[in-house]
């Protein structure tokens, strides 16, 4: 189910993300050689509707069409089937960013593929790994890292002054690659926002031309640590007035802002027991620590910082409402 190729098909340089399945036939790992043989690994479309990374890579490849790359590049174009349907993943598929080594999911052909790619790439000793994503809600552009080491922090700091450190969910690509190279996730805002594409492209160009990460620092970084993930049980309906829960739309503008205690999280219109669940990174239910019920309102019990907050039902069902974070001070 995995293609491996050492050249870029001409048609890929002008393709839309929806056309990649027809062009490639399957998830594809490209190896392109450059002056420095230690490859930069770039990953895109682990989520099929997050297309910014693909278009940034496409523009990078156009630029180097008749020019030698300063360093070798390995590119993984992942869930082309979901990209065709403009979905995060197909209903029959696992989430492609939850099945890398370290995953808690059941075995599958796709999990085998991720294991194979990890093995292939670990042998090549990459310079760095960059996985490119989009958010559903409104967020600033930021990097994510899964271990706190100087090179990973530098890699994140070159993309944004904001970075998020997380260790859950498990089975994400960046975490698997952190075992053998500095790894970052780029969160490039919403997929239809062209500024995310420009930003990712400028970043790829910069990293591609770097000789080492050692001579740089990450002093500009404001680092957050995710402490909890907020979900809504399947049995609870989401929406406007006649639904069990209606989320506060104003919070969509508040990602990466501090939320004060007493702020409304949602209105509830149901006597069902639990309409929202807050889970810690180690999967303990800490709902009562963060959310209180007052009449028909759910309120934040203490101040916190949100990331990836969205009111869009499909995104909530496939992932979560938001993450809760606190600032992390290193050193």
In the complex, the residues that contact Zn ion under the rule CB under 5 A are 47, 50, 133
Q: Which is nearer to Zn ion, 133 or 199 (CB)?
A: 133
Q: Report in angstroms how near the CB of residue 133 gets to Zn ion at its nearest.
A: 4
Give the SS3 label for residue 279.
strand
Q: How far is the CB of 224 from Zn ion (least distance, A)?
A: 18
Vertex 164: Cα angle to 81 and 278 (nearest 5): 80
Taking the complex as a whole, the smallest distance from the CB of residue 172 to Zn ion amounts, in Å, to 9
Shortest separation between residue 166's beta carbon and Zn ion, angstroms: 13
Where would I find the H helices in the chain?
20-24, 52-63, 80-84, 109-124, 150-157, 173-177, 194-209, 287-290, 313-318
Query: Comparing C-alpha atoms, which of 287, 6, 66, 46 is closest to residue 187?
Result: 46
Of 176 and 259, which CB lies nearer to Zn ion in the complex structure? 176
Residue 254, exposed/middle/buried by CB under 10 A (0-12, 13-18, 19+)? Answer: middle
Residues 16-46 as b or e (16 or more Cβ within 10 Å = b): ebeebbeebeebbbbbbebebeebbbbbbbb
Nearer to Zn ion by Cβ, of 53 and 102: the residue is 53
Q: Least CB distance from residue 6 to Zn ion, whole Å?
A: 27
Which is closer to Zn ion, CB of 132 or CB of 259?
A: 132
Secondary structure percentages of the chain, helix, strand, coil, to 5: 25, 30, 45
**Whole-number Å distance between alpha carbons of 77 and 257:** 33
| CA gap 51, 45 in Å, rounded | 6
Question: Shortest gap between Cβ of 229 and Zn ion (angstroms)?
Answer: 14
Tell me how far, at minimum, the Cβ of 47 lies from Zn ion, in Å: 4
* C-alpha–C-alpha distance, residues 152 and 174, integer Å: 10
Measured from the CB atom, the residue of 210 and 320 that comes closer to Zn ion is: 320
CB-nearer residue toward Zn ion: 50 or 168: 50
Which lies closer to Zn ion via its Cβ, residue 50 or residue 197?
50
């Amino acid at each position: 189910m995995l293609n491996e190729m050492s050249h870029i098909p001409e048609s890929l340089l002008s393709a839309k993300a929806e056309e990649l399945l027809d062009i490639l036939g399957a998830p594809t790992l490209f190896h392109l050689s450059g002056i420095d043989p230690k490859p930069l690994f770039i990953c895109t479309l682990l989520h099929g509707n997050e297309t910014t990374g693909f278009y940034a890579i496409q523009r990078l490849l156009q630029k180097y069409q008749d020019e030698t790359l300063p360093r070798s590049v390995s590119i993984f174009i992942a869930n082309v089937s979901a990209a065709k349907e403009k979905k995060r993943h197909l209903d029959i598929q696992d989430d492609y960013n939850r099945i890398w080594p370290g995953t808690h999911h059941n075995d599958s052909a796709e999990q085998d593929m991720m294991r194979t790619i990890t093995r292939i790439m670990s042998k090549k000793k990459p310079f760095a790994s960059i996985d490119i994503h989009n958010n559903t809600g409104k967020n600033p552009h930021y990097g994510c890292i899964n271990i706190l080491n100087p090179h990973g922090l530098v890699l994140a700091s070159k993309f944004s002054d904001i970075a998020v450190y997380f260790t859950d969910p498990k089975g994400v690509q960046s975490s698997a690659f952190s075992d053998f190279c500095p790894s970052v996730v780029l969160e490039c805002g919403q997929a239809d926002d062209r500024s995310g594409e420009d930003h990712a492209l400028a970043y790829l160009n910069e990293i591609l031309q770097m000789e080492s990460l050692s001579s740089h620092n990450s002093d500009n970084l404001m680092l957050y640590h995710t402490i909890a993930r907020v979900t809504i049980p399947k049995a609870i309906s989401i929406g406007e007035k006649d639904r069990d829960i209606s989320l506060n739309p104003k919070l969509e503008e508040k990602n990466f802002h501090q939320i004060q205690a007493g702020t409304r999280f949602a209105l509830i219109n149901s006597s069902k027991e639990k309409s929202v669940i807050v889970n810690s990174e180690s999967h303990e239910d800490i709902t009562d620590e963060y959310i209180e019920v007052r009449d028909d309102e759910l309120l934040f019990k203490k101040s916190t910082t949100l990331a990836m907050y969205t009111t869009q039902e499909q995104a909530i069902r496939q992932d979560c409402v938001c993450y809760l974070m606190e600032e992390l001070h290193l050193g």
